[in-house]
Amino acid sequence: MKPRLLLVDDDPLINESLAFVLGPDFELTCASDRPSAVAALRGMAGPPDLALIDLGLPPASHLPTEGFKLIGDILAHAPDVRIVVLTGQNEESNARRARALGAADLVPKPCEPDDLRALLQRVLRSRDLAPAPGSVEEDRGLVGESPPMRKLRSQIDLYASSGFPALVEGESGSGKERVVFLLHHLSPRAREPFLALNCAAISPTLVEPTLFGYAKGAFTGAIQSKAGYFEDAADGTLFLDEIGELPIDLQAKLLRVLENGEYQRVGETQTRVSRARIVAATNRDLRQEIRLGRFRADLYHRLSVFTIAVPPLRELGDDRLRLLDHFRHVFSERAGTQPFELDEGARARWLAYPFPGNVRELRNIVIRLNTKFAGYTVGQADLESEFAPAQPGASGAGDRLADARSDLSSGRPFSLDAALRALESTYLDAAIEVAQGNMSQAAKLLGISRSTLYSRLEAAGRAGAKLGASDPADPAAAPGTRN
């Protein structure tokens, strides 16, 4: 069978051209924006092997925002999908951020068909060579000896033997799935089924029959009765990933199961009883979701009998080096190559980098370095190109001052003009995003005229600087007064 490839670009010509070029080698599914891409993922018979996506997608094609969100959507649907980002010549910083979010590699626009095909095949091979996250080959344990990791291990040991629900919280890519796996396999239920349902990867209309099962004739297409996850999990563990995505109307039905174990198949009146342990995970702040009315407080309290917070990688200190050593030896052994090394400067930079994409980002960086530099020593310059650029304004004044001192004392070439341009670019993007593409409103947010905004976008080499014709009229301005 051909590998499955999800192609997402809002330019019909690019979609058609790439479909023609890649059709002989891949089973293609095309989409033009984030909602249609998510719908395509949910409708596919199985997860795609690869995804090739443009960062600039509607409704604001001149911004990378939708592309960044789509990376998260794809990885939430299928964590093993390898994502390749289509990038323009002026989007290097965005491309590097995309890699931090979980993208495997980049391909510039325009690109030669043979080069693109070769890159996709190489990414596919690297996926096949790398053990799946949490697989036996990669090691079921937790790597690290920092205080947060020792605390995490002790919580898992303490809570694994209990049958009460547990809630695992943590940032994307931090390793929540592995924690849930250990909760099951270190428990008395280890020989019982372990089932996982990703609430973000399934259509809301299918969540109820998938969880509870359905009777024959319950809805169109229900040609026979079918058990749901609660029934199939039996005395084992049912893992509800991305629980924050569960529709509010289904949260009440899940609450009932948690309270007394009772549920009904869709279309049945017979009450059944579940004996499975429920473990949920989320990267959302469910307390904030409760305040916003998107998550039930009573369900949160039922799920969080035990709460385990998986620490982000930036808080793990030298564990970043331990994970580096672990993954590079795992991947080099699997590929039959010699592991790469980091020189002293590169190791110091490795420890200083915050890894916004957490363990998933670290793992992908190791895969790329192992492919490019097997058996060689990697210097700081080569390593730097793998890291996402710092996000200006993301830290407090004290942190920014410390970052500035670090930049100026590092010995690396520094350009104040370049740093200021990066800061300006960040605020330009933020204003356009907040204004939802309304350039007049974005200019007002920035305290400049619309013509000045276009000038600054052009000076930054932004491809979307000439989109004035699609800019909706400013409702606050009188006719004929637009700048």
The pLDDT value recorded for residue 193 is 93
**Domain ranges in the chain?**
4-129, 147-309, 316-384, 416-470
- Angle at 71 (CA atoms; ends 67, 72), nearest 5 degrees: 120
Q: Show the 3-state SS of 192-213.
A: CCEEEEECCCCCHHHHHHHHHC
**In the predicted model, what is the mean pLDDT of the chain?**
83
Phi and psi angles of residue 308, each rounded to the nearest 5 degrees, phi first: -120, 120
pLDDT above 70: residue 409: no
Omega within 30 of 0 (cis) for the link into 165: no
The CATH class of the 147-309 domain is alpha beta
Evaluate if pTM is beyond 0.85: no
The pLDDT value recorded for residue 234 is 93
> pLDDT tens for residues 91-109?
667 777 888 788 888 888 7
The pLDDT value recorded for residue 141 is 66
3-state secondary structure (DSSP) of residue 309 = strand
Q: Which amino acid is at 353?
A: Y
CATH fold, domain 416-470, is Arc Repressor Mutant, subunit A (1.10.10)
The pLDDT value recorded for residue 470 is 43
> pLDDT tens for residues 348-376?
999 999 999 999 999 999 999 998 899 99
- Can you tell me the distance from the alpha carbon of 178 to that of 168, in angstroms, rounded to the nearest whole number? 10
CATH of 316-384, one of 3.40.50.12280, 1.10.8.60, 1.10.10.60, 3.40.50.300: 1.10.8.60
- Can you tell me the distance from the alpha carbon of 373 to that of 253, in angstroms, rounded to the nearest whole number? 52
Q: What percent of the chain has pLDDT over 70?
A: 85
The pLDDT value recorded for residue 469 is 37
> Is there a common fold for 4-129 and 147-309?
yes
Phi and psi angles of residue 36, each rounded to the nearest 5 degrees, phi first: -70, -30
- Can you tell me the distance from the alpha carbon of 119 to that of 124, in angstroms, rounded to the nearest whole number? 9
The pLDDT value recorded for residue 119 is 87
Q: Which amino acid is at 1?
A: M
**For the ranges 137-141, 163-167, 238-242, 265-269, which has the lowest average pLDDT?**
137-141
Banded pLDDT at 158 (limits 50, 70, 90): very high
CATH number of 4-129: 3.40.50.2300
- Can you tell me the distance from the alpha carbon of 110 to that of 101, in angstroms, rounded to the nearest whole number? 23
Is residue 48 within 8 A of residue 29, CB to CB? The reply is yes
